[in-house]
Amino acid sequence: MDLGIRGKVAMVAAGSKGLGRAAALALGAEGCAVSICGRSAEALQAAKTELEALGVPALAVVADVAKTEDLARWHQATVSVLGAVDILVTNTGGPKAATFEGLSDADWADGVDSTLMNAVRMTRLVLPGMKARKWGRIIHITSLVAKQPYPLLTISSTLRAGLSGLTRTLAMETAADGITVNALLPGHIMTDRQHHLAEVKSKAEGITVSEHFARQAAAIPARRIGEPAEIGAVIAFLCGAPASYVTGQSLLVDGGLVQGTF
């Protein structure tokens, strides 16, 4: 299927690894020029090489999405090299994994900056241009905990739900300008973050990481843990012309794990 986004310029945050990399590659495969950021120059270069192998323009900028000045620098570089931004995919590593009593004010403040405010700041940078051109796509990669909170992920559960609220309100404000705003809520996907959480949980449960993953997969109706490319494919679709009437949604991609109707 031709998604109708060839030649569009996409910014994908934390795009050198995991879900961000999968999103960047999926958009690149659709012919988008892709700008990625991340903290590791080596990982960024590897991802940039993969994008260029798809035959599309690519830019990689070392930047920390929790830092306002880094986001502004990344955005400016993207516009200078690739052009005005049509597609934004916000993405970060998760905040500290701990129960409520294990969290300090500093942990909460760090979580707000790295999980919520970075999405606000990135959106603020690209939105005026999208409104002026009457076209845009904003996708927030969040987590299933926005709909099914988990005690070990107290900060993430709280802030991801808030990001779903932002998604809905901003979609209402921008739909008439040809802009769609959606959140993607991945379930258990095999990324570095998933491995980190597996180590934390298996230690708490007194089992091995392999045993944890086996139990985790067994609890998913699809009976397996997802792959990053499956997230990338959904993001590319949401950015495409066929999804132009889809906005304000918090879409679960979790193999059927979350059991709620809505």
The DSSP annotation for the chain comes to ---S-TT-EEEETTTTSHHHHHHHHHHHHTT-EEEEEES-HHHHHHHHHHHHTTTS-EEEEE--TT-HHHHHHHHHHHHHHT-S--EEEE-------B-GGG--HHHHHHHIIIIIIHHHHHHHHHHHHHHHHT-EEEEEE--GGGTS--TTBHHHHHHHHHHHHHHHHHHHHHGGGTEEEEEEEE-SB-SHHHHHHHHHHHHHHTS-HHHHHHHHHHTSTTSS-B-HHHHHHHHHHHHSGGGTT--S-EEEESTT------
Mean pLDDT across the stretch 149-158?
93
The per-residue pLDDT for 157 is 96
Q: pTM (2 decimals)?
A: 0.94
End-to-end Cα, the chain, rounded Å: 28
The per-residue pLDDT for 20 is 96
Mean pLDDT across the stretch 241-255?
97
The per-residue pLDDT for 192 is 82
Would you place residue 93 in the very low, low, confident or very high pLDDT band (cuts 50, 70, 90)? confident
Q: What is the pLDDT of residues 3-38, one digit of tens each?
A: 999 999 999 999 999 999 999 999 999 999 999 999
Average per-residue pLDDT in the chain?
A: 95
The per-residue pLDDT for 72 is 98
Report the DSSP beta bridge partners of residue 185.
252
Asked whether residue 1 carries a pLDDT value surpassing 80, the answer given is no
Query: For the domain bounded by 9-189+228-253, which CATH number is listed?
Result: 3.40.50.720
Q: What is the pLDDT of residues 162-177, one digit of tens each?
A: 999 999 999 999 999 9
Asked whether residue 195 carries a pLDDT value surpassing 90, the answer given is no
Q: What is the pLDDT of residues 198-227, one digit of tens each?
A: 888 888 889 999 998 999 999 999 999 999
Residues 6 or more apart in contact with residue 40 via CB below 8 angstroms: 16, 17, 62
Asked whether residue 97 carries a pLDDT value surpassing 90, the answer given is no
Asked whether residue 197 carries a pLDDT value surpassing 90, the answer given is no
Q: What is the pLDDT of residues 112-149, one digit of tens each?
A: 999 999 999 999 999 999 999 999 999 999 999 999 99
Mean pLDDT across the stretch 38-44?
96
Would you place residue 152 in the very low, low, confident or very high pLDDT band (cuts 50, 70, 90)? confident
Mean pLDDT across the stretch 235-250?
98
The per-residue pLDDT for 71 is 97
